[in-house]
Amino acid sequence: MTMAHAERGGTVLLAIESATLEVGAALWSDDGLLATASARPGRQHAERLHPLIAEVLDVASLTPASIGALAVDLGPGLFTGLRVGVAAAKAIAFGLGLPLYGLHSTVVLQAAAGERSGSVVAVVDLRRGEVAWSAGASLERGTPEALTAKLLAMTPPLLLVGDGAIRHGAEFTERLVGAGCAAPEIAGEELAAPPVAVLARLGFAAAERGERGDPFALEPAYLRDADVKINWSTRHDEGAAAVQV
């Protein structure tokens, strides 16, 4: 678990992160970061999220009534993690009558990488041989091979961030070098998941710009069906084929 805290002041935004392998909460105000807590608990996103929210509030000596806005990671990412985080954020926003700002996990990862020359590509692992990626404002989904074709056309040097970059980094490197391009830089574990503190900063900036922050309008970016639905459809199709035979 990682934690940090600072002095508070002004409007307070609570950020909720659970889209990928990391679960976290952070508080941001006019004075910057107040508190952040995160963990990588495997599949226990639901079990860990609310204790982490309580933890940052305790560190900052605040109560839920002190929160003035929320931000949540809309994905892409893991189906269960996204559902847990977005549901929690909407429940708090509706319960307290607060604005809720949603950002994509790839946007948060790119912001966490900072400004640099070349191209920063955020790659999120969707499992089942697929990834989602952003290189700029676009959000795409496909196989690592499909992403490699995109990488070949990007301005070097390349920095790949996110858990998808780590999982498929060797493949990206092999294909790019084999095509005569320079090997990409693969970010480490610190950028394997969207940092909740960066999500908080971006959400607070959206609030400061006066964006609407309508919780009714926000939907998770699943990009594909849940594994359980895919498994059912596969078994159903296989069964139907067997009957026809």
DSSP 8-state code for residue 10: S
Which residue, chain included where needed, has tokens 């889209």? Answer: 19
pLDDT digits (tens, 9 = 90+) for 108-135: 999 999 999 999 999 999 999 999 999 9
CB-based burial of residue 137 (10 Å sphere; 0-12 exposed, 13-18 middle, 19+ buried)? exposed
Which residue, chain included where needed, has tokens 């498929």? Answer: 168
Q: How far apart are CA 6 and CA 4, in angstroms?
A: 7
Q: How far apart are CA 197 and CA 68, in angstroms?
A: 17
Which pLDDT value is given to residue 136? 86
Q: Where does residue 97 fall: left (phi above 0), alpha (psi -120 to 50 degrees), or beta otherwise?
A: left
CB-based burial of residue 71 (10 Å sphere; 0-12 exposed, 13-18 middle, 19+ buried)? buried
Which pLDDT value is given to residue 224? 78
Q: What phi and psi, each to the nearest 5 degrees, are found at residue 43?
A: -100, 10
Predicted confidence band at 202 (pLDDT cuts at 50, 70, 90)?
Answer: very high
Predicted confidence band at 64 (pLDDT cuts at 50, 70, 90)?
Answer: very high
- The pTM of the full predicted model, rounded to 2 decimals, is 0.89
Taken in order of first residue, the domains within the chain and their CATH numbers are 2-105+194-227 (3.30.420.40), 107-191 (3.30.420.40)
Which pLDDT value is given to residue 208? 96
Section 232-243 average pLDDT? 42
Q: Which residues contact 6 (CB under 8 A, 6 or more apart)?
A: 31, 32, 33, 34, 35
